[in-house]
Amino acid sequence: MADVYRIFGAELSPYSVKVRSYFRYKRIPHEWVVRTVQNQAEFDRYAKLPLIPLVIAPDGTAMQDSTPIIERMEALHPEPSIHPDDPAPAFLSAMIEEYADEWGNKPMFHYRWFYEPDQESGAERIAASMNPEATGELLAGIRDAVKGRMIPRLAFVGSSAATKDQIEASFHRQIEILERHLGSRPFLFGGRPAFGDFGLFAQLYECYTDPTPGGIIHARAPRVVAWIDRMLDPKAAGDWERWSDLEPTLLPLLRDEIGAVFFPWSGANARALAAGDKKFTVELGGKPFTQETQKYHAKSLAALRARYAAVADRSRLDPVLERAGCRSWLSGA
Ligand SMILES: N[C@@H](CCC(=O)N[C@@H](CS)C(=O)NCC(=O)O)C(=O)O
């Protein structure tokens, strides 16, 4: 196994599943290693942060953080590319990936830890995955410990009784838009999966395995279900589509979610961080949304702005970003 990449991850970790699907699509030889208490010492030897996914390259190099992992692997294995040839959709796909990682994680985390059936189901599966040998009372004790650790973390993502409607409205809007968009194509940008597919599907896959959001997706969004299934082991089925064909059903995601919700929230977080504020409040959907300021979101927003600044010819991209209400968040103009 020394000549394959090893991905330490878990089925209940969206960022791990995202990286695993990427490796599968690119046919990069790899081993999926479920992180358990038994392999914790090995994990600790390589991991700089206590986070999954952790990818260990055949030469022993350790990588963490799904976005840079995929970017690094993409440089080493450029074909088939996950970036559309046209720079405008290529940037929009990266923007969707950023939205998925930083905002799409909110509905996922909120639903998993807010409602009791989801808490039970999530904690049970995490406990069993981390401790494959535990049964009976031991497993029940671990499950309770997982709940005790995860439920208070709702505060970090801004989920509370006061914000639940905003987070859930975003989830409903997202799947409604995707259901329409995926009606006539297998992936977000046409016949093959793009960077944005990997990020977005992974958060929704977790929702689809949880009782409450899974029930909603299965009842209302059969095409989203089929896309999630496809993305678990994606295969190219055609070429990229032209932006003009994608825009009628994909622009709503950019406009109603990324421009109207994600950027105002992420911009407010970045401003609060710069001002040294521990918490921030932003108006979303006509109501205040309050959460703790997070460094990581500001860092990834800065990376997306740098990616935008690096697009050499923005003549076809900027009008789309303008229509979506996203341009000023990227250019500072
Ligand atoms: N930005 C990171 C986020 C990684 C992350 O938050 N991982 C979660 C699981 S999805 C984690 O490891 N949490 C701590 C834990 O499970 O102990 C990435 O994209 O990889």
* pLDDT at residue 285 in the model: 92
Peptide linkage before 264 cis (omega within 30 of 0): no
With a 6 Å cutoff on the Cβ, whether 13 touches ligand 1 is yes
With a 6 Å cutoff on the Cβ, whether 205 touches ligand 1 is no
* pLDDT at residue 65 in the model: 98
Nearest to 198 by CA among 26, 4, 12: 26
- What is the rounded average pLDDT of the residues 54-83? 98
Residue 54: what are its φ and ψ, rounded to 5°?
-125, 125
What percent of the chain is predicted at pLDDT more than 90? 98
Question: pLDDT tens digits, residue range 270-316?
Answer: 999 999 999 999 999 999 999 999 999 999 999 999 999 999 999 99
- Going by alpha carbons, the residue nearest to atom 18 of ligand 1 is 65
Tally Cβ neighbours within 10 Å of residue 315.
9
Distance 20 CA to ligand 1 centre (A): 14
Mean pLDDT computed over every residue of the chain: 97
* pLDDT at residue 197 in the model: 99
332 has a pLDDT exceeding 80: no
Nearest to 240 by CA among 191, 278, 284: 191
* pLDDT at residue 2 in the model: 67
What element of type H or E holds 264?
A: helix 263-275
* pLDDT at residue 200 in the model: 99
Tally Cβ neighbours within 10 Å of residue 214.
19
DSSP 48-116: SSS-S-EEE-TTS-EEESHHHHHHHHHHH--SS-SS-SSHHHHHHHHHHHHHIIIIIHHHHHHHHHHSH
Integer Cα distance of 12 and 284 in angstroms: 28
SS3 assignment, position 242: coil
List the structure tokens of 104.
Answer: 């799409």
* pLDDT at residue 267 in the model: 98
DSSP label of 30:
E
Q: Which residues have C-beta within 8 Å of that of residue 45, sequence separation ≥ 6?
A: none
What's the predicted TM-score (pTM) here? 0.98
Distance 284 CA to ligand 1 centre (A): 26
Q: Which residues have C-beta within 8 Å of that of residue 66, sequence separation ≥ 6?
A: 15, 16, 18, 19, 53, 101, 199
With a 6 Å cutoff on the Cβ, whether 52 touches ligand 1 is yes
* pLDDT at residue 293 in the model: 97
Residue 129: what are its φ and ψ, rounded to 5°?
-70, -40
- Going by alpha carbons, the residue nearest to atom 1 of ligand 1 is 65
Given the CA of residue 296, which atom of ligand 1 is nearest to it?
Answer: 1
* pLDDT at residue 94 in the model: 98
Bridge partners of 281, per DSSP, are 290
With a 6 Å cutoff on the Cβ, whether 170 touches ligand 1 is no
Given the CA of residue 53, which atom of ligand 1 is nearest to it?
Answer: 20
DSSP 203-237: HHHHHHHSHHHHHHHHHH-HHHHHHHHHHTS----
For the purposes of burial, counting CB atoms within 10 Å of the CB of 2, is it exposed (0-12), middle (13-18) or buried (19 or more)? exposed
* pLDDT at residue 333 in the model: 54
Distance 9 CA to ligand 1 centre (A): 9
- What is the rounded average pLDDT of the residues 68-86? 98
Question: pLDDT tens digits, residue range 161-207?
Answer: 999 999 999 999 999 999 999 999 999 999 999 999 999 999 999 99
- What is the rounded average pLDDT of the residues 80-106? 98
Residue 32: what are its φ and ψ, rounded to 5°?
-90, 115
Question: pLDDT tens digits, residue range 107-145?
Answer: 999 999 999 999 999 999 999 999 999 999 999 999 999
With a 6 Å cutoff on the Cβ, whether 14 touches ligand 1 is yes
* pLDDT at residue 1 in the model: 56
With a 6 Å cutoff on the Cβ, whether 15 touches ligand 1 is yes
SS3 assignment, position 145: helix
Distance 64 CA to ligand 1 centre (A): 9
38 has a pLDDT exceeding 70: yes
| 8 A C-beta contact, residue 93 and residue 100 | no
Bridge partners of 290, per DSSP, are 281
Question: pLDDT tens digits, residue range 2-15?
Answer: 689 999 999 999 99
Of 19, 35, 44, 51, the one to substitute when testing ligand 1's pocket (max ligand atoms within 8 A of C-beta) is 51
- Going by alpha carbons, the residue nearest to atom 11 of ligand 1 is 51
Question: pLDDT tens digits, residue range 248-279?
Answer: 999 999 999 999 999 999 999 999 999 999 99
